[in-house]
Chain A
Amino acid sequence: MSSEFKKPVPAAEIKERHRAEQVAANKAPTELTGSFETDLSLLRTLFHNSSDLVIRRFRLPIPEDLDVAVLYIDGLVDTRVVDQDIIQSLLRLSRIESVAERLKPGNAMDKIKAYLLSAGEIETSSAIEKISHTILSGDTALLIAGSKDCIIVNSRGFETRGVQEPTIEAVVRGPREGFSENIRTNTSLIRRRIKDPDLVIEAAVIGQRSGTDIAFVYIKDIADPQIVEEIKTKIESIKIDAVLESGYIEQLVHDQGVSLFPQMQASERPDKVAAGILEGRVAVIVDGTPFVLLAPVVWVQFFQSPEDYYEQSQLSTFIRLVRFVATAFSLFLPGVYIAMTSFHPEMIPTPLALALAAARTGVPFSLVTEILIMEISVEIIREASVRLPGPIGPTIGIVGGLILGEASVRAGIVSPLTVIVVAITTIGSFATPNHTTAISFRFLRFPFIFLGASFGLIGITTGLILLVIHLAGLESWGVPYMAPYAPYEPTGQGDAILRREFSFQRTRPPFLKPQDKHRLPRPEPRS
C-alpha cells in the first residue's frame, strides 16, 4: 500500500530547493553555502548540467541518514579509486558500529576523513573556483550534508601517452626516455634523476579558461633566488584565456622586442632538463605538452646536445665545432656563393671559375633567382614531409631532393653547383640540435641572400654586424645571451663552444649566478 504513495516532501525541503535554484540562478557565489541541496545545484549549474559530470548521491546509515554526494568528470578519473576508495569504503566502513557511534552530524566531516576514506591524497576546500578546477583536473569532490567544506580526493586517472622515445631530440648515446603530456609523469621523470630534497617543484595555474597546470622546478640551494622569483612572477602574471602548449609561455614572456631567438629553451629530454636544473636553471613544465621549458638560456646552449656529456670531451668538442660550421653554412653559404660569383669572381681560382661559368651556360635565370627557386622548393619539400604521415615522409624527401634536383639540372633551370650549395645549406640547418634555433637560422639565410646579391661580401658582413648587435643586446632573465663570450667569463669556457673534460668544469656556469658554485670538489693538493 505504502509503495503506491510517494512520501510527501516536507515543506521545508521544497522551500530550500526553491531557494537553492534562485541562488544558483541569480549570482555565482565564490564559496559553498553549507546547505547540501544548494551546493549541489550550485555545482551542477556551474557545469551547465554537462553530460560528463557524474553526481552520485547516497546516504550513510550512521545514526541518522547523512546525505553525501560524489562529483567527478567521467573520463578524467580513475574509476577504481572512485568506486573502491571513496564510495565503497564510505558505505562499508560506516556500517561498523564503533565508527558509526563516533559520527555525529556536526563532526561528520572530520570523522569521515579520519575513519571512512581510504583514498590517499585528500584536501578540503569551500572555494568554488578551486573545487571546479580540481574536478575538471580529474579529482573527485565529496559533498557532505551539514558541512560548508567539501573533500577533494585525488582520483586523476585519465588516458595519457606513456613515456616514449623523444622524436625531435634524438641521440645516439643517452637515455631513451622523453617527456609525455602528463605533468605528473614529467615531474617524476625529473625527480627520478635528481633525488635531492632541495629539488623544489612548485605548482601554479595559468590560463583563465584552460586552467593549465604548470610547475616550476629548480634546486633551492643552487638556482639564483632572484632569477627564480622573476621567472615565477612573470609567468604567473600572464593573462591569457588558454595555454595549450609551452610555446605560448615562451612567446608571452618575451620582452626583448622582435627577435627570432627564444628566451627559453624547449626540450623533451628529461636528462637535458635535469642537467639544466643542476646548473642552476629553472624548468617550467606545462601540463599537456612534452616540451619542458628551461630558463635562463644563453646562445651557445642551442648548439649543445645532452650527448656531448656522455661521450669523450675531445669527441664532443669536435662534434660541437661541426655543428657550428653546419650552422654557419646554413646561414651564410647561399649568400656568400652569390657574392663570390657575382661580385668577386677574382677570388675564385681560375679553373673553378671556368667550371662555374661552363656549368651556368644555358641557365636562363640570374644566380639569385636560381638560388631562390631552389631554396624555396627545398623549404616546401621540408614542410610537406613534416605534414605527411610517417612512412610517406622520407619518400617525399627522396623524391623531392633527388628527382627534383636532378631534373631541374637536366632541364637547364639551375646549375649543378647551385644544387650542391642548396643541399649543403639544407643539411647544415638540420645539424642544429635545437629546433627553434634551426628554424631561425633557416629563415635568416634569406636576408643574407639578398644582402649578398646587393653588396657582395660587404653586404654579408653588414648582415653579420647587425646580427651580432642584435644578439649582444638580448638578455634572458638578466643573463646576457652571448655569455660566456660577452661578457667573457673564463670559468664558463669549460662548457661553451668547447666541451672540456669534467675536471675543467668544476664550477657551474657563472653567468647563472648559482648559489652553490661548485660541481666538483676542489682537487686536493698533491703531497
Chain B
Amino acid sequence: MKTNRKPVTPYQAIAIVVNTIISGRLLILPRELCTEVGNGSWLMIVVSALVALVIISLYTAVGRRFSDSSLPQYTVKTLGVFGGSMLALLFGASWLIMASLSARIFSAVIITAILPRVPLEVGILVMLLLGAHLATKNIATIARVHELLLPLVVGAIFLLVVPSLSRVSLWRLLPLIEPGSLKKLGTGILVGSSSFLGLEIVSLFMPCYGRPELAGRSHKLGILIVAAVALLTVEGCIGVLGTGTLARTQWPTLTLVRMISFHGIFERLEAPFLAMYVIVVFTTIGSMLFGVVAILAQLFKIKSQAIWPYLLVIPAYYLAVGPPNVIAVEKAGQIFAYFRLGLVVFTPLIVLLVAIIRGKEDRPDEKQAEGS
C-alpha cells in the first residue's frame, strides 16, 4: 500500500500545537502567575503569547528552509555531526523529563482529588504507557489522534471553565495592573512563556506537512487558541478566587471546577473534569515521547518503532518518582522550564544563523509542493 509521505494537514498542525502545549501546567499556571504579578497576569499571558508567536515563527522559518528535514537532521546539517547530535539529544532529554514531570504532577492531582486508593506509581505508569503507546505509531496516525482529540482538549476546558465564569466578581480583577507589579515583569514573562513550551515539537512534524506554505498560519492559530484558553483559565481563577486565595491554592483550576455543579444531573464535576484532563495530559506526554522516539530513531537510524518506545517508560518512570513531593516537583519543574526555554529559543536562532552563513538549505522539490 502506498503511503503518503506528507500526510499532515494544516488543521492537524493546529491540533498538534494546541494539544502539545496545553498540559497539566494549566492546573497550576494561575497560581504561578498570580504569585509573581497578581492582577497583571492577563498582561503576562498576552506578552508571553507574543513571545511564543515569535519563537514559533523561528521554528517555522527553519522548517521552511529545511523543508525535508526534522530537528535532528537540520542541527546535524548545520552544526556538524557531533554538535548537532548533542543538541538534538538535549532536546530529547528535555522532552523525556517534561513527559515524566507531567505524568508525576497529574498523577499526584488524580490521587489527591479523586482516586485516593490508587498508588501514585500506578497513575504515573498508566500515563507514561499511554504516551509510549502513541509514540509507537507512525506520524500520520499521531497527527490524526491529535486532530480527533483537539475538540475534547479545548472543549473540555471551555465547558468546565465557562460555567464558573458566572461566579466571577469583576472587582477581583481590578486593578488591571497592580502598581509596582511591573517590576516583576521579567519573571512574569518567563513564567508565562515557559507555559507555552512544547511548541518546539512542530520541528519534528514540519517535514511531513502536506502544505508547508500554510504552516505559519496553522502555528500562529494554534498559539492563539492556547493563549485564549490560558487567559480564560487564569482570569476565571482570579475572578472567582481573588489573588489572595489563589496564591495559596495548590490546584486553582481544579478548585474552580469544584465550585460548579449542574444541579439535578451532577453535583460535583472534578471527576469528569479530571477524566477529560487525562486526554489533555496524554496528548502532551504522547507528543513528548514521540519527540524522544523520533530523535533517537533519526540519530541512530532505527527503522522500526514497533516495540522499543515502550522502553522509554523505564527511565521516564524513575525520573517521575524521583522527587519526594509535589512541591519539589514544581520547583524542579520551574528551574527546568527556564533551562528548556533557553534551549528552545536559542536553537532555532543558532541554526538559522549558521544556515544562512554556511548557505545550507533543502532544495524544495517543486513536484511535491504542487502534487500535495
Contacts and interface: CB of A to CB of B under 8 A. Distances in A.
B1 interface: yes
Contacts of A477: 1
Contact of A466 (B1, B130, B274): B130
A255 B3 CA distance: 14
A526 B110 CA distance: 59
B137 A486 contact: no
A441 B2 CA distance: 30
B141 interface: yes
Interface stretch (B61-69, B192-200, B275-283, B342-350): B275-283
A460 B271 CA distance: 12
A488 B147 contact: yes
Interface string B95-137: 0000000000000001000110010000100100010011001
Contacts of B279: 461, 464-465
Contacts of A472: 137, 141, 144-145, 148
Given A343-B114, A349-B265, A469-B137, A461 B278 contact: yes
B85 interface: no
Interface residues of A, number: 35
Q: Which of A346, A471, A482 counts the most B-chain CB atoms under 10 A from its CB?
A: A346
Given A347-B272, A457-B275, A465 B130 contact: yes
B264 interface: yes
Main secondary structure of the interface of A (DSSP, over half): helix
Given A350-B267, A487-B147, A458 B278 contact: yes
A352 to B, nearest CB: 9
Interface in A302-352: 340, 343-344, 346-350
A460 B148 contact: no
Contacts of B149: 465, 468
Interface residues of B, number: 40
A1 to B, nearest CB: 80
A190 B144 CA distance: 35
Nearest to B3: A478
A494 interface: no
B114 A344 contact: yes
Interface stretch (B6-14, B32-40, B308-316): B6-14
B147 A346 contact: no
Contacts of B143: 486-487
Contacts of B147: 485-488
B265 A486 contact: no
A461 B275 contact: yes
Interface string A465-501: 1101101110101101010011110000000000000
Contacts of B278: 458, 461-462, 465
Given A344-B114, A349-B264, A487 B12 contact: yes
B283 to A, nearest CB: 9
Nearest to A456: B115
A25 to B, nearest CB: 48
Nearest to A490: B11
26 contacts: A230-B1, A340-B271, A343-B114, A343-B115, A347-B269, A350-B267, A456-B271, A457-B272, A458-B123, A458-B278, A462-B130, A464-B279, A465-B149, A468-B145, A468-B148, A469-B145, A472-B137, A472-B145, A472-B148, A473-B137, A473-B144, A482-B144, A482-B148, A486-B145, A487-B143, A488-B11
Interface of B: 1-2, 7, 9, 11-12, 110, 114-115, 118, 123, 126, 130, 133-134, 137-138, 140-141, 143-145, 147-149, 263-269, 271-272, 274-276, 278-279, 282
